[in-house]
Structure 1
């Protein structure tokens, strides 16, 4: 049974349709990437998962329990980190971490100390003195100290420097190897690509693509950089070739992955002397879904 499952999740604010039939499934020991532009509906979905908002229609099950009516029981086993953390200004970071950990019934001091060291956090400072990045660290240390079964993370690395992002990523992989589940909403596509087993792309309240990255790569394009003995004739007329650019004696272009074999056969007759291939990335896939759409995020849900 999935750890988290939404079925036809729909949310209206008046006449505005914020979510329209969203289906998400997160299994045990899986990291699920939830991506989309600002205003696509990610945070609205997460608020419903947390029992903060009630869905207009549809069903949300976490650990087999209803996310709205059994929210208190569910929260005993989940850890949540928002993208913008607000803390009690007069408490120290360490006091806030202890408070959150005790709320979940945990008391693993060694884990707490190890995480504080890894995230390079000074737990003795008052929260009002913390930068945005340090507030995120407090929330992340509290979450990873709590031994939750499901982590719901909404832009969790916002404000962290690249070194701390690496620490965060190693923590996620440790939780995954321990059989824990993660729903990761992120703008950083390279982060999602590195961590996630499956991905769902949301746009204007609808899931427009979902699956494992290997399943989704057929929808993307491979980037090629080629140099040939003779100039390549009529490359722009070859099926599946896009975005041709001349770079001195070399040509860069994109190829629909399903046409890659035919395109390589075509250009090889002109005498290939150099060929560089960059595999399609999650960013390529994401941008392809949004090509030519000038209304990205316009009027969308938060």
Structure 2
């Protein structure tokens, strides 16, 4: 698949503070990449560089094969962007602001605009100065989603939205993906990223500490197992690759290295298996692996 976003060895300093250090990842055509990390990890700095708002110190940053700093005007004709805190013109109505954004973009879809206003339950006739944070966010999302872009960049897009509106946003992103669009999604809602993302990049203190598909990353950590047996399940605690073993009666829960699952199954079968459940780690498990302590 062609690379829509190409970031290689990206570096950025603010004074003596190293905000980004050798950040590298890509977004391919027709995929959703989840970009996750806590506040201050470097997510928004990376996105601002991609948008041509700030200049990188070193490395490669390209969108559609074009340099994000030198050719930002051409790039912006084909992208939509929503920040985590949308600022609007207070004297204009929500509908007027959406229309202005779509006119500036040049590839707005009026029918989709009207559809999204109804879906997100936004009052387009109300002045923006009377909007809550959630409604300001809805305005930005509607304007971005109603534009026919090739790349959508979302930086904490559902901040301030209730769970129902979060779900609607996720459904709309899935439609974009089905239409072959590319999405870079920075979010602190890990369940949202897990639902939508084909690949994830985890950033910590300005460095990418893990990247790949969820399946690839899950192979790097342990599955959680629940096992009930007819024989004494306690013998499982002594096997290699078993961790955090807890037993109640003849049922145990523990985590196990992936390369030891076959051994666990063979040994469990000798005890007479009554129940066996193996659950892969969630994105939250993978995330916390890099941030515990």
Structure 1 residues 2 and 238 mapped into 2: Cα distance closer, same or farther (>3 Å)? same
Cα deviation 1:251-281 (Å, max 9, x = unaligned): 2111122221112222332222122222222
Question: What's the counterpart of residue 283 of structure 1?
Answer: 284
Q: Supply the distance in 2 between the matched residues of 1:20 and 1:188 (Cα, whole angstroms).
A: 24
Q: Supply the distance in 2 between the matched residues of 1:189 and 1:131 (Cα, whole angstroms).
A: 24
Provide TM-score, normalisation by structure 1: 0.92
Matched residues, number: 292
Cα deviation 1:46-80 (Å, max 9, x = unaligned): 11101111101111111111101111111111111
Cα deviation 1:151-182 (Å, max 9, x = unaligned): 11001111111211111111111111111110
Determine if contact 2:11/2:58 at 8 Å carries over to the other structure: yes
Determine if contact 1:221/1:255 at 8 Å carries over to the other structure: yes
Which deviates the most, 64-73 or 274-283?
274-283
Determine if contact 1:41/1:205 at 8 Å carries over to the other structure: yes
SS at match of 1:259: helix
Question: What's the counterpart of residue 179 of structure 2?
Answer: 178
Structure 1 residues 186 and 78 mapped into 2: Cα distance closer, same or farther (>3 Å)? same
Cα deviation 1:222-251 (Å, max 9, x = unaligned): 111222223323433322212223356532
Question: What's the counterpart of residue 273 of structure 1?
Answer: 274
Which deviates the most, 259-268 or 163-172?
259-268
Aligned 1:140-179 pairs, distance under 5 A = 140-179=141-180
Question: What's the counterpart of residue 192 of structure 2?
Answer: 191
Q: Supply the distance in 2 between the matched residues of 1:101 and 1:247 (Cα, whole angstroms).
A: 60
Question: What's the counterpart of residue 298 of structure 1?
Answer: none
Q: Supply the distance in 1 between the matched residues of 2:248 and 2:122 (Cα, whole angstroms).
A: 47
CA RMSD of aligned residues (A): 1.5
Q: Which runs of 5+ in 2 are unaligned?
A: none
SS at match of 1:146: coil
Question: What's the counterpart of residue 25 of structure 1?
Answer: 26
Question: What's the counterpart of residue 69 of structure 1?
Answer: 70
Provide TM-score, normalisation by structure 2: 0.95
Determine if contact 2:232/2:250 at 8 Å carries over to the other structure: no
Question: What's the counterpart of residue 243 of structure 1?
Answer: 244
Aligned 1:7-46 pairs, distance under 5 A = 7-46=8-47
Q: Larger relative contact order (C-alpha < 8 A, sep ≥ 6)?
A: 1
Structure 1 residues 154 and 247 mapped into 2: Cα distance closer, same or farther (>3 Å)? farther
Cα deviation 1:205-226 (Å, max 9, x = unaligned): 1111111122222112211122
Q: Supply the distance in 1 between the matched residues of 2:214 and 2:49 (Cα, whole angstroms).
A: 26
Q: Which runs of 5+ in 1 are unaligned?
A: 295-302
How far off is 1:289 after superposition? 2.6
How far off is 1:39 after superposition? 1.5
Cα deviation 1:19-55 (Å, max 9, x = unaligned): 0111121111111111112211111101110111110
Q: Supply the distance in 2 between the matched residues of 1:55 and 1:69 (Cα, whole angstroms).
A: 12
Determine if contact 2:236/2:264 at 8 Å carries over to the other structure: no
Determine if contact 2:32/2:197 at 8 Å carries over to the other structure: yes
Q: Supply the distance in 2 between the matched residues of 1:209 and 1:111 (Cα, whole angstroms).
A: 37
Q: Supply the distance in 1 between the matched residues of 2:36 and 2:149 (Cα, whole angstroms).
A: 23
Which deviates the most, 233-242 or 117-126?
233-242
Question: What's the counterpart of residue 136 of structure 1?
Answer: 137
How far off is 1:138 after superposition? 0.6
Determine if contact 1:221/1:284 at 8 Å carries over to the other structure: no
Structure 1 residues 62 and 107 mapped into 2: Cα distance closer, same or farther (>3 Å)? closer
